[in-house]
Structure 1
Amino acid sequence: MKPRAGGALTSIMIVLTLTTGMIEAVSFLALGPVFTAMQTGNLLLLAFALTGGAGLSPAAAGVSCAGFVVGAVLGSRLESSVDTHGRRWFVPALLGEGVLLGLAVLVAWRTGVDGPGGPVTGRHFAVTALVAAAMGVRNITTLRVRVPDVPTTLSTRALTAFLGGLPHVADPRIGSGVRHEGRRFASIGAMFAGGVLGAWLLHEGVRPAAVLGVPCALVLFLGVASWVVPERRTSEPG
């Protein structure tokens, strides 16, 4: 059973985009620098680090890539298995992602992962791996949901489509109009707002574990909320 298309699903994906901005703020500013959701940037960081880029850790980038791969594979198997039995796969996908983020929060808190500026150690790698695994699940979920213009873990495509849909540009093959442009603008704005919020909290001395706790709580809330709503209102065959 796939989630029913509509405003509620789009809103969920916008909130997930907001959490991506916060997660990447922690990943880049406190765990690396490294990316955990946007693996294009992470692969480039890995390439730069391998050629001696100052301040970059090939180990951190490699751990993130590995964690992401594991998360994507496990997420795909989980969602496909649930879907095969004719059940809602969106709910366990959100809950599974939330659990992985919760484990990352727990490890970060118990091992004392501090704010920006400290050396990158094994405890940072452990948190990075768990967050990247959660983002691997997230990306599989996003691919399966296919909400137009809201990819949740990157903004390049949404920004390009937004510019291509402006009134004086309006490429008919991209799609234009208030509905399309509104989704794109919301997606871009949510990513930016999440990044600002995450970076600001870290700048104010909030521990990375607490900052990660916000996306974790939001993802789990969305999963539980989707679970308690009757299936006929949230899902449809396919």
Structure 2
Amino acid sequence: MKPRAGVGLTSAMVLLTVVTGMIEAVSFLVLGPAFTAVQTGNLLFLAFALMGAAALSPAAAGVSVAGFMAGAVAGSLFEAYVDVHDRRWLVPGLITEALLLACGGLLAWHIGADDPDAGRGTGRHLVVIALVAAAMGVRNVTTMRVQVPDVPTTVSTRALTAFLGGLVPAADRRIGSGPRAEGRRLVSVGAMFAGGLVGAWLLREAVRPAVLLLVPAAVALVLGVLFWALPRRRAWEPD
């Protein structure tokens, strides 16, 4: 059963976009360099690293891609199974993401913001990357099933393109425009930027990278509990 995009879902997806920026700050600046949500970047990193590009780790990029794929496949099978039984697949999807992020955060507890092993692809780093990437794979399945317009939570390119394409007087009718759509797109892009900015700032202030992973885990868990507790019509009402 598919929830309809409404105020509750849109707000939740925007919040998840913010924490994606925080997650990617940890992934790229401490664990990698690699992304765990933006797999386009990892595919390019992997290609560049295999051709000998300096400062790039083929292990980190490859593990992230593999972890993401495993999470996406498992998440798709799991959420489809829950959906077939007419249950709220959104809730277990968010909770699964939270558990994977929490495991990654706990495993990363002894990794510092100024970790000298960053970029070297140690075993601990790679396992954390795999867990977080798997969580982002599950997240992508969840957000694709929810289909909140212009808020995919893990990328901003399409939202930015749609925002620019919808600007008056050069509005593209096929893309769509209007204050509500343009506002949602702008918020989506701003949320990703804000999350990355906050994540990088907290790392600079020597906050443990594990904390920056546990906060998104807590956010996903709280959202899952809220969507479970709220009446379906109230949480999934049309926008």
Please list every run of 5 or more consecutive structure 1 residues that lacks an aligned counterpart in the other structure.
none
Paired with 2:4 and 2:161, the residues of 1 have a C-alpha distance of: 26
Cα RMSD for the two superposed structures: 1.2
How many residue pairs get aligned? The number is 234
Paired with 2:229 and 2:167, the residues of 1 have a C-alpha distance of: 39
Please list every run of 5 or more consecutive structure 2 residues that lacks an aligned counterpart in the other structure.
none
- SS state at 1:2 partner: coil
Map of 1:159 onto structure 2: 160
Deviates more, 1:166-175 or 1:190-199: 166-175
Alignment of 1:21-170 (within 5 A): 21-109=21-109, 112-116=110-114, 118-119=116-117, 120=120, 121-170=122-171
* Contact kept in structure 1, 2:5 and 2:147, CA below 8 Å: no
Give the alignment's TM-score, normalised by structure 2. Answer: 0.95
Give the alignment's TM-score, normalised by structure 1. Answer: 0.95
Map of 2:228 onto structure 1: 227
Paired with 1:232 and 1:86, the residues of 2 have a C-alpha distance of: 15
* Contact kept in structure 1, 2:112 and 2:206, CA below 8 Å: no
**1:118-168: per-residue Cα shift (whole Å, max 9, x none)?**
223111001000000000001111111111111110000000000000112
Deviation at 1:8, TM superposition (A): 1.0
1:228–1:166 distance in 2 versus 1, CA, 3 Å: same
Paired with 1:184 and 1:117, the residues of 2 have a C-alpha distance of: 36
- SS state at 1:95 partner: helix
- SS state at 1:3 partner: coil
- SS state at 2:62 partner: helix
Paired with 2:30 and 2:153, the residues of 1 have a C-alpha distance of: 21
Deviation at 1:216, TM superposition (A): 1.1
Matched, 1:12 2:12: yes
